[in-house]
A and B are shown apart, each in its own frame.
Chain A
């Protein structure tokens, strides 16, 4: 069997496990409801405001959801001793980790996409305010901006899930996995940025270093890319936006690094 084929077999197994876990489904539903509710409450009337509205909730909720989907993926196999059986199959570590990642991603991404899709739907089909006697014209608002935002969010989701899979491979027990996951989510959502702010106000770093440093936190890298690519100068005006290169490099680094950690820690060859 080729590597890809074996990875797909593992992915199928992970995907089926997800579908059989009712708590995960409830969580997914909760995510969609929270995002949809937020958009309705904000009274969003366009794609650009929608993007601005959703950046913050997404960077908090997506890591949470990704960790819920992935933090015990490999660890639970180890717990039940199935990992030792799996090791007897002709299966490389990369195929196994890749398969686990893809299987979980196949469950996670649709949840994120459905939530975003429903939000866009709320903008398109918002009732009222239809004044047909007055001509409308194109503003800076465009669906393209939202498409870009969705793409960036998909990348961010993948990175967050990769980190979660790394946690599940590195942790030796369920309790340890939970602890690491909680610490990492807090670090992603608050810790990295708070540290950078503290370092900046403490004079440890200068403003020049911010471009690089913010790219090192996945959340800031994602946020930076959204403002650069999907929001643009209508909102950012004359503030310089983070460079594409730094943001992309930051996210790639986390993605590759996390999966690397998972491959290294899943079992010893």
Chain B
């Protein structure tokens, strides 16, 4: 080989690589707006966005281009944009924003409709404007389904005239950002929601307890031959008593009555068609009896669902299913001490603020495909407390039941223990689920749900949470195929005990925005999984998670190891299982690798890094109970 040509070739290559110095890599980048549908979307709930689309309301939006994150992030709401940009770990994970674009309302003739919602009278105008050069109208009367709206304008004059008509001040991007500065910590926020919902639920339980004290006006079998006749005869606000015996169901309660039996010996039996007890009045109580003979139609087929609202299907198909007890606008009603056997729904609540279902037992078919929902709550928050669900499809199914409380209940052998749809601000607390497809599943894009202190085992998945700004804490998930599946953005995952699952914690979002701290994640086949998106840092305020008794030192005695841990890594993942992993981990090669892999997480391939793994478990007692044999 002739060295001349080799040298000439090398000179050429170096010439080419040297062109790198002629280009400025850090020069200003122009940020071009992209189609909002193809961004990773955050902010505002799915139901709010759907409602806005349905009613032609306008939502101010933003597109953010981060320096160390290759996907464009889209936001519904300017407030949520500012909050996320100033949030903890946003810069660490995504780098600085290279560009922030916001909806330009100048030229769209923005106005408020009769309900104060923001609308555009000229949808052809507008477009995008850089947040830096935009002005914003804050504290005006404008709102979106998600709450008060900050309205951005590309021209100051347009902003001024909007503020003159609808109130508020005109401010720049800097003040919008500093307004969002005061953040409460997620732990405080979670405690606030928990306390708020728990106290509300306590009040409903107390309020409905009085329904048991109504005077007895009619005794079925003594005063009237049938239950239907008794209901007919009893005056409002009295009790219809059902002594032990079997009574025909398929009746309607159309006034505030209390139907009380003598326990399981009182049996109200339907004719296996339709609903056994239909309630169309408020403050109705059904207590201490057994119900069976429910029809088998869980979801009704329907042909009249064309047009109408976006959730027409659920309202008509699910809301008219057969049920042991069906409430329509059953505000302040009570179901207690009831034993239900059903092939469709147990208790269907189509509207019923503060209705309470407690101390009951609802049994569905052993194959979930044959049954339907134990408690189906639509439109209003209800309280489900100390109820045992066996079999059937879902224990509790919610549809737009914001603020529902499900606590101290047991679900086993069904599809989902609790199934939340379009439901925000719910409290799912201290429930036990066994042998389910999923213990608690939160679908659609709600926000601020709290899943706390639940215990899910021997299921396909423990807790699966979608949406945003939600809280998953102090739960135990053990012996499931997947422990926690987190598809909720900007959510708080803390102090959970995750043991012996196929996959411990799975991060399902492309966007890394979870706060994962203080969890005890032990002896799962795969401790963590994050296949999509960049590397995630699962450490908050200097505290990571407990991944088992990892080797390493805690020189400063703060309870965290000095070396980072990568639960998704090949070597670290096998550290506590394979005896060859430790020497390999301590090799110079791995030391070198460790030193580089926490740098610029936004530009690295998938995986999870804990930069401060805990030396001791957060909840040793819970861990010992689930995992007595292994440390």
> Is the CB–CB distance between B66 and A139 below 8 Å?
yes
Report which of B18, B531, B592, B602 forms a contact with A139, defined as CB distance below 8 A.
Answer: B602
User: Quick one: which of A16-60 are within 8 Å of B by CB?
Assistant: 16, 19, 38, 41-46, 48-49, 52-53, 56-57
A5 to B70, CA, bound (A): 52
Q: Which B residues are CB-close (under 8 A) to A102?
A: 3, 7
Q: Are A43 and B605 in contact (CB under 8 A)?
A: yes
Q: Does A138 count as interface, using CB distance less than 8 angstroms?
A: yes
Whether the Cβ atoms of B72 and A52 lie closer than 8 Å is no
Given A15-B6, A106-B7, A148-B21, residue A137 in contact with residue B72 (CB < 8 A): yes
- Residue B4 lies at the interface, judged by CB distance under 8 Å to chain A: yes
- The docked-state distance in angstroms from the alpha carbon of A214 to that of B321 is 78
Q: Is the CB of B17 within 8 A of A154?
A: yes
Query: With a CB–CB cut-off of 8 A, which chain B residues contact A243?
Result: none
Is B67 a contact of A234 with CB atoms below 8 Å?
yes
Check A113/B13 contact, CB under 8 A, given A135-B72, A137-B70, A145-B20: yes
Query: Does A56 lie within 8 Å of B592, measured CB to CB?
Result: yes
A230 to chain B, nearest CB (A): 8
In the complex, how many residues of chain B place their beta carbon closer than 8 angstroms to a beta carbon of chain A? 55
Are B20 and A148 in contact (CB-based, < 8 A)? yes
The answer to whether A144 touches B25 (Cβ under 8 A) is yes
Is B6's CB under 8 angstroms from A110's CB?
A: yes
A42-B3 contact in complex given A141-B603, A150-B17, C-beta closer than 8 Å = no
Could you tell me if B10 and A134 are in contact, using CB atoms closer than 8 angstroms?
no
Convert B79-98 into 0s and 1s, putting 1 for each residue whose CB lies closer than 8 angstroms to a CB of A: 00000000000000001001
Q: Please state if B532 and A46 are interface contacts (CB–CB under 8 Å).
A: no
User: Bound complex: CA of A235 vs CA of B602, how far in Å?
Assistant: 12
Asked whether, in the complex, the Cβ of B1 is within 8 Å of the Cβ of A15, the reply is: yes
Return the contact of A128 from the options B25, B531, B596, B604 (Cβ within 8 A): B531
How many angstroms from the CA of A16 to the CA of B2 in the assembled complex?
9
A127-150 interface (Cβ within 8 A of B): 128-129, 131, 133-142, 144-148, 150
Q: Is B34 on the interface with A (CB-CB < 8 A)?
A: yes
Interface centre among B14, B29, B532, by most chain A C-beta atoms within 10 angstroms, is B14
Q: A45-B604, A154-B17 are in contact. Are A110 and B596 (CB under 8 A)?
A: no
Q: Are B71 and A234 in contact (CB under 8 A)?
A: no
Residue B397 is within 8 A (CB to CB) of chain A in the complex: no
A contact residues around B71 at 8 Å (CB) = 131, 134-137
Bound form: Cα–Cα A233–B31 in Å: 20
Q: Is B206 among interface residues, defined by CB-CB distance under 8 A? A: no
User: Which residues in B have their C-beta under 8 angstroms from that of A45?
Assistant: 534, 603-605
Q: Beyond A129-B605, A234-B600, is A135–B23 a contact (Cβ under 8 Å)? A: no
Question: What number of residue pairs across chains A and B have CB atoms under 8 A from each other?
Answer: 157
CB <8 Å contact, B38 and A147: no
Chain A residue with the shortest CB-CB distance to B26: A232
Cβ contacts under 8 Å, A133 to chain B: 38
Q: In the complex, how many angstroms separate the beta carbon of B533 from the nearest chain A beta carbon?
A: 7
Point out which of B531, B532, B534, B600 has the most chain A C-beta atoms below 10 A from its C-beta. Answer: B600
What 0/1 pattern do residues 184 to 197 of A give for CB contact below 8 A with B?
00000000000000
Report the nearest A residue to B18, measured CB to CB. Answer: A151
B39: contacting residue among A14, A48, A134, A151, CB under 8 A: A134
Tell whether, in the assembled complex, residue B13 and residue A129 are in contact, meaning their CB atoms are under 8 Å apart: no
A103 on the interface (CB 8 Å rule)?
yes
Does B597 lie within 8 Å of A43, measured CB to CB?
Answer: yes
**Contacting A19 at CB < 8 Å: which of B1, B72, B604, B606?**
B1
CB B584 to nearest CB in A, in angstroms, measures: 11
Whole-angstrom distance from the CB of B256 to the nearest CB of chain A? 53
CB-contact partner of A110 in B10, B16, B25, B589, under 8 A: B10
Distance between Cα atoms of A127 and B589 in the complex (Å): 24
Q: Does B593 contact A (CB under 8 A)?
A: yes
With a cutoff of 8 Å between Cβ atoms, the chain B residues found around residue A154 in the complex are: 14, 17
* Cβ-defined partner of A42 (8 Å) among B25, B68, B593: B593
A159 to chain B minimum Cβ distance, whole angstroms, is 14
Q: How far is the CA of A113 from the CA of B29 in the complex (A)?
A: 30
CB of B65 within 8 A of CB of A147, answer no
Q: Does B122 contact A (CB under 8 A)?
A: no
Interface check B629, CB cutoff 8 A: no
Kindly list 6 other residue pairs between chains A and B, CB separation below 8 angstroms, not including A44-B605, A148-B20, A148-B25: A16-B3, A42-B593, A133-B38, A134-B38, A135-B38, A233-B26
Nearest 6 pairs of A and B residues by beta carbon: A147-B20, A46-B603, A148-B20, A43-B605, A15-B3, A45-B605
6 A-B interface contacts by CB (under 8 A): A45-B534, A52-B600, A135-B35, A148-B21, A230-B20, A234-B26
